[in-house]
């Protein structure tokens, strides 16, 4: 590690690399390719091999479809490369990225992901009265549209993004020239906090599953063995459907939200590892560090005003 300004200078872990590793998108495509036949098998088992579920299988297929679309979007359509703890990243989709901006792509993904959670709640809609069921369906499906709308409203102007990146992460200024780069600043636009907070509260609705299991145990003595086994098999099937989105997406996502919102640079490794859990990729954390020289000006210039910045002895120009 090179240090032209003394060894006693504070080190800032770089949240962004020079380039996106070639293996990253390849790994995501492989994951998506493996996920495709696995989801087909899941559809087949639920639709053709579960005759005792009757109408309940439609709920499972709905949730399975939302989960499959989420995985497809993350691994093939517009996969993102995230620069933690910087609240942002780069859209690596080479084909669809030409037609969908990075911010719009993130908003669409949040909406698709929220439909996965809404589908899980629909499976727990066991209220007897018909009008209550309809109200419940409307409420749970308002959430995906509301979340994606809040995410879209959390966007920043180019100047706001540039100021945020330049002041907090000057090593990433060169990424502002990339069309697929996007960053968010909660201090300028707090809608990103509203989006994350709403999703976090929505997660608690999954406790309905535990509540349903308790009710099933209480009513066991009033059911025939065949009816009880049918309901038990349906709940176990639903639990397996929710293991991946719940344990491998929701919990790591909330950990990432906490680290990025609190700007805990020392927890960058934890943040990256939770992302690895979410998308099933290898650790892509960079192993180098920068020395930030004393007196580095953090003025609020626009990028069209040229300036030479010196970081770790290397010079580059903002244009």
Spell out the domain ranges in the chain. 11-318
Residues in the chain, total: 319
Beta carbons of 242 and 209 less than 8 angstroms apart? yes
Please tell me what DSSP assigns to residue 15. Answer: S
Angle between helices 130-153 and 102-122 (to 10 degrees): 160
For the record, the structure tokens of 1 come out as: 């590690």
CB atoms within 10 A of CB 251: 14
Query: In whole angstroms, how large is the CA radius of gyration of the chain?
Result: 23
Tens digit of each residue's pLDDT (9 = 90 or more) over 287-316: 333 333 344 443 433 344 343 343 333 343
The region of weakest confidence among 102-106, 131-135, 140-144, 246-250 is: 246-250
- Within the chain, how many helices (H) and strands (E) appear? 10, 7
Mean pLDDT, rounded, for 92-111: 85
* CATH architecture assigned to 11-318: Up-down Bundle (1.20)
Burial class (CB in 10 A: 0-12, 13-18, 19+), 108: middle
pLDDT digits (tens, 9 = 90+) for 7-41: 444 444 566 778 888 888 888 889 888 888 988 88
Mean pLDDT, all residues of the chain:
70
Task: Tell me if the pTM is above 0.85.
Answer: no
pLDDT, tens only, 81-93: 888 778 888 888 8
Provide the 10 A C-beta neighbour count for residue 159: 12
């Amino acid at each position: 590690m090179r240090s032209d300004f003394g060894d006693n200078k504070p080190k800032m872990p770089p949240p962004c690399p020079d380039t996106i590793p070639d293996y990253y998108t390849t790994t995501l495509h492989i994951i998506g390719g493996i996920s495709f036949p696995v989801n087909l098998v899941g559809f087949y088992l639920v639709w053709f091999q579960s005759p005792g579920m009757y109408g309940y299988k439609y709920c499972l297929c709905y949730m399975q479809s939302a989960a499959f679309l989420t995985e497809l979007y993350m691994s093939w359509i517009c996969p993102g490369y995230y620069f933690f703890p910087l609240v942002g990243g780069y859209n690596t989709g080479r084909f669809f990225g030409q037609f969908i901006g990075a911010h719009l792509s993130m908003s669409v993904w949040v909406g698709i992901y929220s439909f996965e959670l809404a589908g899980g709640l629909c499976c727990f809609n066991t209220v007897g009265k018909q009008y209550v069921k309809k109200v419940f369906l409307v409420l749970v499906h308002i959430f995906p549209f509301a979340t994606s709308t809040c995410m879209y409203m959390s966007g920043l102007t180019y100047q706001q993004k540039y100021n945020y990146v330049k002041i907090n992460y000057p090593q990433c200024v060169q990424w502002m020239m990339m069309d697929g780069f996007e960053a968010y600043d909660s201090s300028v636009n707090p809608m990103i906090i509203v989006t994350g907070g709403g999703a976090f509260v929505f997660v608690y609705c999954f406790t309905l599953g535990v509540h349903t299991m308790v009710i099933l145990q209480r009513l066991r003595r009033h059911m025939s063995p065949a009816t009880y086994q049918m309901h038990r098999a349906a709940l176990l099937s639903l639990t397996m459907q929710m293991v991946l989105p719940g344990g491998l997406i929701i919990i790591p996502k909330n950990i990432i939200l906490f680290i990025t919102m609190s700007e805990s640079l020392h927890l960058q490794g934890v943040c990256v590892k939770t992302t690895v859990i979410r998308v099933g990729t290898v650790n892509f954390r960079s192993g180098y560090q920068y020395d930030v020289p004393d007196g580095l000006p953090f003025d609020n210039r626009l990028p069209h005003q040229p300036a030479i910045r010196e970081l770790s002895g290397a010079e580059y120009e903002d244009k």
